[in-house]
Amino acid sequence: MKNLLTDAFKQAARDYSFLLDNGYPERPTLKLVGDRYRLTHPQRTVLFRGMTSTGNARSRQSKITREPKGKKLYVDGYNVLFTIMNYLLGKTVFISRDGFMRDSGGTYGGIEDETFFYKAVDLLFDFIKAIEVKPVIIYLDLPVSGSASHKNELERRMRRAEIEGEVVLAKPVDAQLKGKTDGIVATSDSGIIDAVDCRIFDLARRCLEKNYEPDIPDLGPPERSQEGTQERAQKEGGQVHGDRK
């Protein structure tokens, strides 16, 4: 991770957030800032997934709960499990500007090593059992390769762990979770977080923190992202890296 969070990346993150705060669109801004600081593809992925506007960050933070005990829990299954699995695989994970833990992506539509996937499942179920939530409804994306067998195996392990709940195949999962108004939703998906009216639990982060106490890089709270950027903008005549398109 250290080779990703270079001085150039940190400066790019400040500029990127500053531009988002001033209404610039995400994708063009990502290219603009990424090209200026010559960021690698992994750095651009972390920038895109890890940074957002101050308004979005604060809105998402306001939905976070750390006390899910006794509540109904809706789990964005692959979102949570892939994050835990990628940590176990030694891939990049980080705390985003909005306070949620995310990974650098790369697990799309399939799982290379199911040994680590089911290790993530067992870690997750042990943690869920400990925090005493019920029932637990886990949603799996139907298009993901092997989703039907994953459903069956997760249900078997839920029974073994004596966890009250069920596993549901859905297409798409986002639509199922965005409509929730009761209970708690467990996800780090920004689209779901922005849409739901209920509280959000960062299940993958809390699970890893309990089991490993990991030293996860933090991209910083909203207040930090603009330090130095406004002063630099003033020196450049009120613009940051060119005129808005």
Instruction: Give pTM, 2 decimals.
Output: 0.87
Contact criterion met (CB below 8 Å) for 200 and 63: yes
pLDDT at residue number 227 = 42
Per the rule left: phi > 0, alpha: psi between -120 and 50, beta: everything else, 145 is beta
Asked if residue 68 has a cis previous peptide bond (ω within 30° of 0), the answer is no
Q: List the chain pLDDT tens, one digit each, 245 residues.
A: 667 889 999 999 999 999 999 999 999 999 999 999 999 999 999 999 999 999 999 999 999 999 999 999 999 999 999 999 999 999 989 999 999 999 987 655 568 789 999 999 999 999 999 999 999 999 999 999 999 999 999 999 999 999 999 999 999 999 999 999 999 999 999 999 999 999 999 999 999 999 998 889 999 765 544 444 444 444 444 444 333 32
**What are the boundaries of each domain within the chain?**
7-51+225-235, 62-212
Show Cβ contacts of residue 48 under 8 Å, excluding neighbours closer than 6 positions.
Answer: 26, 30
The three-state secondary structure class of 203 is helix
Indicate the CATH number for domain 62-212.
3.40.50
Are the CB atoms for 51 and 225 separated by under 8 Å? yes
- Whether the ω angle into residue 28 lies within 30 degrees of 0, i.e. cis, is no
Helix %, strand %, coil % for the chain, to 5? Answer: 50, 10, 40
| Residue of 225, 231, 187, 203 lying closest to 16 (CA atoms) | 225
